Chains A and B, each alone.
Chain A
Amino acid sequence: MFRDENIRDYNPVSTSSHYSPNQEAPPNAESIAVFKDVEKEYVIDKYKFKALKGASCKIPKGEMTFLFGPSGSGKTTFLNLLGLLDQPTAGEIYLMGEKVSDFNDNRAADFRSKNIGFIFQSFNLISVLSVLENVEFPLLHDNINRSERRERAEHYLEAVGLGELINRNIGEISGGQRQRVAIARALVTNPALVIADEPTANLDIRTSQEIVDLMTDMKSKFKTSFVICTHDETLINEGSRLIHIVDGLLQDTGGLK
């Protein structure tokens, strides 16, 4: 297996490194993900379109990284590759020291189930399941018995402030609450990386800020790395890492706000 000297084994116990403001991440900082000349080309009716043009960057571990850029700039494309939902047309992606860009479908699925949590713009909860069951759902992977599943799900629901609503149906809670359920669901498997694509786009400004604050809390509490994409710069908290993307090209990778 290929091993970049900058990519170390993922160690969930280690604390995140400290960076000084307005500096590039130090080259020896621990990275959760490394992109090397990653390209993504879409083909529509023989017409080829490069949505990502030679992206190289490192995403630091245990931090909040914001990916921002205008609509159509390639944010979702980037996150899909990072989350192993799609494969690059060129280049290599390393996650937690493993070269993941050429995983087959099953390996990618298994990797996602262990290491990656997802938060979606439109929450993507399973409508026929209750709040608690939605959070339990990702634990179906691991043959965990029902009571332990419940316990863990309740723990994360309390962490996102929904301890009182666990038995509600998804249709009976607000958008902000739904996104909290989704955050609990993303965290319940204790992943190293949580990916959120426009998690606040369907929420009002106040709720949006609450959700971002919650994710910041969760990042510290569970030592999880977050990569969040947004086109709303006002949401980006102080001390977060920034990746600016324009027209499929990464700029200012790793700077601090």
Chain B
Amino acid sequence: MIWQIALRNLIKNGRRTIITITAIGIGGLAMMLFGGFVTSIFFGVQTSNIQDQGQLQVYKKDYLKFGAADPDSYTIDNYHNAMDAILADPELKQQIYVITPQVQLAGIAGVAATDNSKTFIGRGVVQEDADKMRKWDGWNVKVETPATGLAGSGSEGAIVGKGMARLLGLCKPLNIPNCEDPPNLVKPLSDEVVDFSDLVDSDLAQNSTEVTENQGPQINLLAAADGAPNIVSVFIKDMQSQAQRAIDNAFLMMHFDTARSLLYGEDPRATSLLIQLNNPNNVDQVKARIQQIIDKEQLNLEVFTFSEVDPTFNRIVGMFSFIFGVVSLFLGIVIIFTITNTINLTVMERVNEIGTIRALGFRRGFVMRMFISESALIGLFGVIMAILLTLVIANIINASQISWTPPSNATPILINLMVLENPLLLAGIVAFLFSLAVLAAIYPTRKASRMNIVSSLHHA
């Protein structure tokens, strides 16, 4: 009967009830939409990362600590061995979608036609593997990382960042929109410029002046491994913007074998192995299993998740979670005030009833239960309203194809709010709103239950 009384009082004060429910509904809507947005960032940014880097990366032991200063001492010396050892495990073989070697390198890039040169930071990837990885969508979030662009380019094709293209004066040759070549192309752009044209193979150097349709502008890359400089020529197929300007300004992606041989000649060395799993949800088990095998085979390697290698993802998630927390806090405060106010009004209107109920022999706790039930019902209806509103509005937003560029992305992605896809968050928000409703009622109802019976009976 407590619930009947609560419900009927809510109906009796219909307008006030609707306002309070709406406050919870709108607050819940905001939290759920934003939560859905954060969820889509969580899965979307992760998916982007996994498409590019895989879930797991194998490095030489201590590479992450010391490798940056001395990359050549921290290479995987026979990557075939490591790959074979890992794939020999039947369980892992099943879990692994792609396992592929990668070379990271840095050096100086010079445009053969203009003598214009600058430093580059590059990656050598196995094109077929990399393009296969970029199609991964284990959570079905429809995030797309564009293909490497290296397909069909032989071993000499390469891709540069947009900034890199601009700085090298490749805007026009590559037909890049909104891109302006430097005013003095023939002049070197930096002091680091090294004239190494005499080192280049003579026939390579000769066909370098013309931009051919198939090959693109020619670039000579100088890089040194183990103290020995080496040079290779590549043809820039295209540009791909990178998320961070500093990287974009130096980015170069090329074929694995080209990069590997530039640095290590015939040696089967790689900087890392990228491992992409079919199922994104048992990364930890697979990681442990791989480490086990590595240790058993005494390969002197280490396996990391992509976020251990690059904490950006965790920071992005951390930042949005923090914003989500702050927004929820303020929404919560507003909701608490609204509910407290409503319950206070209800209590004030029913002082005489409270006195009567107490006179009839009900304890204070009963009075509290009566009003908290009312508040709980408000919370329940508010939560239902929030869910319904969220379903409608999230669908409208998702259908309207709004795009944005996440901090870790170079290209904008469509906003796809993932509300129902994160039942845990949804349940959390529902529990949060509901407990707010109940908590907000505690103070006013406690006061109500402690009113002097005689004076409340005299209250008109």
| A interface list, Cβ under 8 A from B | 80, 83, 85-86, 105-106, 109-114, 116, 118, 120, 124, 126-129, 133, 136-138, 140-141, 185, 189
Contacts and interface: CB of A to CB of B under 8 A. Distances in A.
A165 to B, nearest CB: 19
Contacts of A185: 360
Interface string B352-367: 1101111111111010
Given A126-B353, A126-B356, A136 B457 contact: no
Interface of B: 1-2, 4-5, 8-9, 12, 352-353, 355-364, 366, 453-454, 457
9 contacts: A106-B363, A118-B356, A124-B352, A126-B356, A136-B1, A138-B361, A140-B1, A140-B2, A141-B361
Given A112-B360, A118-B360, A124 B353 contact: yes
Nearest to A182: B356
Contacts of B9: 128
Contact of B361 (A111, A127, A133): A111
Contacts of A83: 359
A138 B355 CA distance: 14
A110 B364 CA distance: 11
A252 to B, nearest CB: 26
B362 A141 contact: yes
Contacts of B457: 85, 120, 124
The 10 closest A-B pairs by CB, nearest first: A113-B361, A112-B361, A128-B8, A124-B356, A109-B363, A85-B453, A118-B359, A138-B360, A86-B454, A80-B454
B348 to A, nearest CB: 15
Question: How would you classify the secondary structure of chain A's contact residues: helix, strand, loop or mixed?
Answer: helix
A144 to B, nearest CB: 11
Contacts of A129: 1, 4-5, 8
A109 B352 contact: no
Nearest to B9: A128
A110 B5 contact: no
Question: How would you classify the secondary structure of chain B's contact residues: helix, strand, loop or mixed?
Answer: helix
Contacts of B355: 124
Contacts of A116: 361
A113 B1 contact: no
Nearest to A133: B1
A127 B366 CA distance: 18
B373 to A, nearest CB: 13
Contact of A109 (B2, B8, B353, B361): B361
A126 B352 CA distance: 10
A133 B357 CA distance: 14
Contacts of A137: 1, 360
B159 to A, nearest CB: 73
A113 B356 CA distance: 12
Nearest to A136: B1
Contacts of A85: 358-359, 453-454, 457
Given A129-B5, A137-B1, A105 B361 contact: no
Given A80-B454, A85-B457, A128 B12 contact: yes
B1 A109 contact: no
Nearest to B359: A118
A110 B360 CA distance: 9
A145 to B, nearest CB: 12
B454 A113 contact: no
Contacts of B454: 80, 85-86
A106 to B, nearest CB: 6
A110 B359 contact: no
A114 B359 CA distance: 12
Given A124-B355, A126-B357, 12 more contacts: A85-B358, A85-B359, A106-B363, A111-B361, A113-B362, A124-B352, A124-B353, A127-B353, A128-B8, A129-B8, A137-B360, A185-B360
